[in-house]
Structure 1
Amino acid sequence: NVTDTGKIEAGARLKYISDIKGGSVNCDLSIMPFTQYGIVEIKSVTDAKNAKVNVLNGIKEGEPSYQWKLGSWNRGRGYPKLCTFYQDRFVVAATDSKPNYIWFSRTGDYPNFGVEKVGGTITDDSAITLPVINRKMYEIRHLVPANDLIVLTSGNEWIVDGSKTITPTNCYLKTQTQRGALKCEPQFIGNRCVFVQERGGTVRDMGYSYESDNYTGQDLTLFVKTLVKGHVAVTSAYAQDPDSIIYYVRDDGQLNCLTYIPEQKVYGWSHFVTNGKYRYVESVAEGEQDTIYFVVDRVINNKSVKCIERSIPLYTEDNSDVFLDCYVKVANSIKTDYINAPHLVGQMVDIVVDGQQMPSRVVPPTGVIKLDSKANVITVGLPYTTKIKIPSVEQQINDGTLQCRLVTITRVALRLYRSYGGSVGRTFEDADDLIMKPKTLFTGDTAIVLPKIATSVNTNTEICIKHSKPFPFNLLAVTREVEIGGGFPNVHGM
């Protein structure tokens, strides 16, 4: 007996040749069950059971079929909102009708989401459809490719296990944490994913932990709840160099910034407010560092305008560089005595001429600012004030802690790098100016004596530092000299 199997094209002819000279020969032909798949477009619906279609590919025209299914994506069901690449597959997720579904393309064939069978078995490179199912149906918010594919939903966090090559028979979801992510874009920094939590505005990170064999993380806003409570982060951007900062634009047009260096366990927050509203932020790699661009809503000459503003490097050898919002700069070898700033009409602006600050002015309706003398470099922009409050010190003393003890701060020393200007005090209102040489950026330690007054003896050892000049101010360290009174303040009502 002879047995053979194979695949033939439709309409093929078979020819049998036998060396048997006598008797009878039986030839049995059998075929495996087969279904031809194709794609059609519905033209019109005849009735509840019939429709006319245009054949796009895969099947023969004119042959009716009762075996059909609507595609996952169309105008009625919606199209995927998210996309990324993972293990040489194009990955999309979250339609209007299936917000908890993920679709993987065929391996290396990104537009192809079809399935291929050989001998009745689905091939390993076929497309994959993966529903994210839990006790509640949460919407998929983000796909973050890493060693595993991190899936952030509105109620929890998952991973698609990437320890092995994913196939239709080897594609597993594993739930990790139950936090939920906001629509604000997450950032993947080093080997950790930083995202904004669905509720409360909390910013969290997550990464693999060998101790728990799971993804875990921490609340990065634990000590700055006043910055995030009651506000929603709408967009974010990450500048890796020079300082590893994540920028978050809030729904009220203000900006929160997180300095995030996990390998050094450094997490520091700052808050930006401008003469307008921040609407969008993006990071662009330029040369040896990342540059931040903002879209800012401003009111100029009684008209609302959108400005695209680029942040300049914080560290520069050019002393003529200044720090102003929405500024314009003219630098020529030939001296001039005017500058055009039509985008700042009606605004009170700071003016810096050849590295020297001039009196502030209001930009006239013509947009042209006339100077008293000619200069090579002229810069005009909106001023802003930088403030930092250093928390009270803590120290163990003979009879307990320094907290709630009567103390007074007598001197404060600042370590600065290429800085000019600034003031220091117990409060921002009574801060004293630092003394520096004009037109010279200072590097080193400078000290200031705080006056002793009746109200200076209390339980508060905070230090307030303010900088309003349009020049660099790089603060490296703060040292305080504290005199301890020893006792507790009087108890009111006793």
Structure 2
Amino acid sequence: MPAIKRAKTAFTAGELAPELFGRGDVPAWGNGAAKLRNVFIQPTGGLQRRPGLRHLAVLPGAARLVPYEASTELTFLLVLLDGRVRIMRNDVQVAELTGSWTAAMLPQITFTQNASMLLLLHPAMPPQVVQRAETGTWSVAPFVFSAEPFFRFVPAGVGLTPGGTTGNVSVTATAPIFASSHVGAMLRIGGKRLRITSFSSPSVVAADVLDALSSADTTTDWAESAFSSAHGWPISACFYQGRLVLGGSRDLPNRLWFSRSANYENFDPGTGLDDQAIGFSLVSDELNAIRAVFAGRHLQVFTSGAEWMVSGDPLTPASIQVTRQTRVGSIVERSVAPMDVDGMTVSVARSGRGIYEFSYTDLQQAYQADDLSLIARHLIVSPVSMAYDSQRRLLHLAMADGSLATLTIYRAEGVTGWTRQETDGAFRCLAEIEGVVFAVVERAGSFRLERFDDAMALDACVAGTSDAAGTNWSGLSHLEGRTVNVLADGAPRELTTVLSGRIALDPAAASVQVGLSFAHVVEPLPADIVSAAGARTGPIRLVAATFRLLGTGSLAVDLGRGVQPVPFRRLDSPMLDAAPPLFTGDVTVRGLGWQRASLAPLWRIEGDAPLPFTLLSVTTETRMTD
């Protein structure tokens, strides 16, 4: 049979799920791959080895990362820890403050920012304000309502009897409705406010009268704080059309609150004027526990079972409209906030197996949900954190198993493909600031703060500090006892072990990177060759494969006999004295033998050398028997 030549010029569909290995008819097949590990898809269609991870700090435990933008030119990274927050600027800690959250609360904390005020929210914690003053001083303090929202949690027939109209009075209920957690909460009796100061019994509390009561008679005209330790605190928040929007709480999971216009602390609905506060519940045929509120083209509300649109231009008590849009549902186990990706809102599905893109269609005047992960579902398993690098157009999702799924998305160019990033450890949390993606990585039982850095070729990587001779390099205590890779003056050296936070080199070097290696893998889809009878009927032979490379320092290929280095430069030595020249051009590797396994790849690229690697295309020449 004559040789068949095929050129694969793009990998823009990314890594495809194994369920698609028999679907050569789908459009993604031509530009897809069976495995893409530790590479990023380029907008032009090629693949590039991902950057390394620069080590910044060892953390005392699990952490949550929150970006903070003080101005267009001044940004910070907040590292939330158990009971405190570290504030980082340019990879250096500039402040540390205490907070009222715990390590167990970190996965469910949500946040939103307006000007210098960053709100942290959790259903078991009063909203906290992290703020940077113009003097550069940082503070963490509870959010103070000038007028908080009220709600009637108990049946309408339950009445309250105040023990007086002024001062500190006892308040007696006709049913056991109080708990010790009510201390500090507010009551509103006949439109007048009281603050509970002590708990006596389920039917009796003491309260300070803030507004003189008109009567001490028993009344059913009363309500209590919508937010308190007794009923929970807001779950999510955002700023929309000049209002602070609070979504959901522990005991009111499907309710929304809107502050007064340009008065974020005031949630008094008043008489329903256009600029006054608004409060209502999402009413449907199922409980929709609010997981996130997001300010996009409209106010979008993500709940456990559906997605809603809140419209009104401007949004007032009279104009507000709420309509259910889709029924995907959002993840419940932890907070993974939706985010804007090129004008679309991307959210994690409740199942933890889908990443949905919500877009508004002018024709239908409604939102629709498209699953971005449909053809790579095997990579999406219980996401725990998400970050979007808008400069490189990369959407990163950390998974519960510690891997990182990366979506390269250029809609106009038809590039929407997933790859998987792996490291010697586990990715636990992500955040992006000005095109820099930070990560909390768990390595060897400890947590580290690291970030992707184009200048680094290894993970947990640092540029060591040397003595005058350039032979002893220190500053490596975070890698103590580990066998590490060394890149000295741009050239890989032999593996060595970190002892007492240092390593020794011979010969000496002027600059050194020390860290942990990671391997990039490129594996094509099974050969899709059709015979005259309509299907592949016999074994296949790879005659030759030509790899077109750009600025590549190392190439190793497996053609069925194990991974072998391709000698387009001197690769036979484990140690190089100088940085290798980067190769651009075609490299042809000859195949040998016939292959009978129909799902086995014809070729496989795998390499852990800490050197640049960019693959532009692959051309294969094959033969097949009947």
Give the TM-score range, shorter chain. Answer: 0.7 to 0.9
State yes or no: 1:127 paired with 2:286: no
Alpha-carbon offset, residue 36 of structure 1: 7.4
Superposed CA deviations along residues 173-217 of structure 1, whole A, max 9, x for unmatched, are 111111111142222111211111111521121101234432113
Give the 3 Å change call, closer, same or farther, for CA 247–458 of structure 1 in structure 2: closer
Report the CA distance between 1:51 and its aligned residue.
5.7
Give the alignment partner of residue 145 of structure 1, picking from 286, 290, 295: 295
CA distance in structure 1 between the partners assigned to 2:619 and 2:535 by the alignment: 14
What code does the residue aligned with 2:498 have? V
Pick from 305, 312, 318: which aligns with 1:155? 305
CA contact (8 A) 2:404 2:421 kept: yes
Match of 1:480 in 2: 619
Where do 5+ consecutive residues of structure 1 fail to align? Answer: 1-34, 314-320, 488-494
SS in 1 for 2:227: coil
Aligned residues: 425
Determine whether 1:418 maps to 2:523: no
The alpha-carbon distance between structure 1 residues 392 and 249, as it changes in their structure 2 partners (threshold 3 A), is: same
Q: CA deviation at 1:460?
A: 5.4
Partner residue of 1:266 out of 415, 419, 422: 415
Does residue 356 (structure 1) correspond to residue 491 (structure 2)? The answer is yes
Cα gap change, 1:429 to 1:203, in 2 (>3 Å): farther
Equivalent in the alignment of 1:257: 406
Match of 2:603 in 1: 463
What is residue 372 of structure 2 aligned with on the other side?
Answer: 220
Superposition pairs of residues 220-299 of structure 1, within 5 angstroms: 220-228=372-380, 231-241=381-391, 243-285=392-434, 290-299=435-444
Deviation string for 1:398-422 (max 9, x for gaps)? x475656643322222233322112
Cα distance between partner residues in 2 of 1:420 and 1:252: 31
Aligned to 2:226: 72
Q: Give, in angstroms, the shift of residue 433 of structure 1.
A: 2.5
Q: 1:378 to 1:456 in 2, by over 3 A?
A: farther
Cα 1:64–1:479 shift into 2, 3 Å? same
**What displacement does 1:63 show?**
4.4
> Is 2:595 aligned against 1:449?
no
RCO comparison, higher one (Cα < 8 Å, 6+): 2
TM-score, normalised to structure 2, is 0.63
- Aligned pair in 2 of structure 1 residues 200, 280: CA closer, same or farther (>3 Å)? closer
Equivalent residue of 1:409, what SS?
strand
Return 414-423 or 139-148, whichever deviates more: 414-423
Equivalent runs, 1:44-63 vs 2, <5 Å? 44=198, 52-56=206-210, 59-60=211-212, 63=215
- Secondary structure of 1:223's partner? helix
Cα distance in 1 for partners of 2:190, 2:597 equals 88
Matches within 5 A, 1:189-208: 189-208=341-360
- AA matched with 1:480: T
Q: Taking structure 1 as reference, are residues 485 and 50 closer, same or farther at Cα in structure 2, changes over 3 Å only?
A: closer
Q: SS of the residue aligned with 2:378?
A: helix
Match of 2:525 among 391, 402, 405: 391
CA drift of 1:49 comes to 8.1
The DSSP-based 3-state class of the residue aligned with 1:217 is strand
Partners of 2:389 and 2:366 in 1: CA distance: 28
User: 3-state SS of the aligned residue for 2:550?
Assistant: strand
The Cα shift of 1:458 comes to 6.0
Which 5+ residue runs of structure 2 have no aligned equivalent? Answer: 1-188, 571-577
Rounded Cα–Cα distance in structure 2 between residues aligned with 1:98 and 1:69: 14
Which amino acid counterpart does residue 95 of structure 1 have in structure 2?
S
SS in 2 for 1:206: strand
Counterpart AA for 1:380: V
Q: In the TM superposition, what is the alpha-carbon distance from 1:387 to its structure 2 partner?
A: 0.6
In structure 2, distance between residues paired with 1:418 and 1:71: 63
Mapped to 2, the partners of 1:354 and 1:307 lie a distance apart of 26
Contact 2:290 2:303 in 1 (8 A): yes
2:485 partner amino acid: D
Give the counterpart letter for 1:278 in structure 2: F
Of stretches 455-464 and 36-45 in structure 1, the one that deviates more from structure 2 is: 455-464
Cα drift, residue 235 of structure 1: 1.1
Partners of 2:560 and 2:282 lie apart in 1 by: 53
Q: Distance in 2 between matches of 1:459 and 1:235?
A: 33
Q: CA deviation at 1:360?
A: 0.6
Letter in 1 for 2:496: R
Say if 1:161 and 1:456 are closer, same or farther in 2 by CA, change over 3 A. Answer: same
Q: Superposed, which structure 2 residues align to 1:166-205 within 5 Å?
A: 166-182=315-331, 183-205=335-357
Instruction: Please give the secondary structure, in 1, of the residue aligned with 2:595.
Output: helix
Question: Which stretch shifts more, 38-47 or 66-75?
Answer: 38-47
Alignment match, 2:237: 83
Please report the TM-score for the alignment, with normalisation by the length of structure 1.
Answer: 0.79
| 1:459 to 1:40, Cα distance in 2 relative to 1, 3 A | closer
Letter in 2 for 1:168: P
Question: 1:232 deviation in Å?
Answer: 1.2
Match of 2:460 in 1: 326
Which residue number in structure 2 is paired with residue 42 of structure 1?
A: 196
SS at structure 2 position matched to 1:184 = coil
2:470 is matched by which residue type in structure 1? T
Alpha-carbon distance, 1:330 to partner: 3.3
C-alpha distance in structure 2 between counterparts of 1:386 and 1:428, whole Å: 18
Cα distance, 1:443 vs. partner? 5.0
Report percent identity of matched pairs.
23
User: Higher Cα Rg: structure 1 or 2?
Assistant: 1
Measured after TM superposition, the shift of residue 226 of structure 1 is 2.2
Equivalent residue, structure 2, for 1:20: none
* Corresponding residue SS for 2:222: coil
CA shift in 2, pair 1:270/1:47, >3 Å:
closer
Q: 1:428 to 1:350 in 2, by over 3 A?
A: farther
* CA separation of 1:427 and 1:224: change in aligned 2, threshold 3 A: farther
Change (3 A) 1:207 1:458: closer
SS at match of 1:226: helix
Structure 1 CA distance for aligned equivalents of residues 238 and 360 of structure 2 = 21
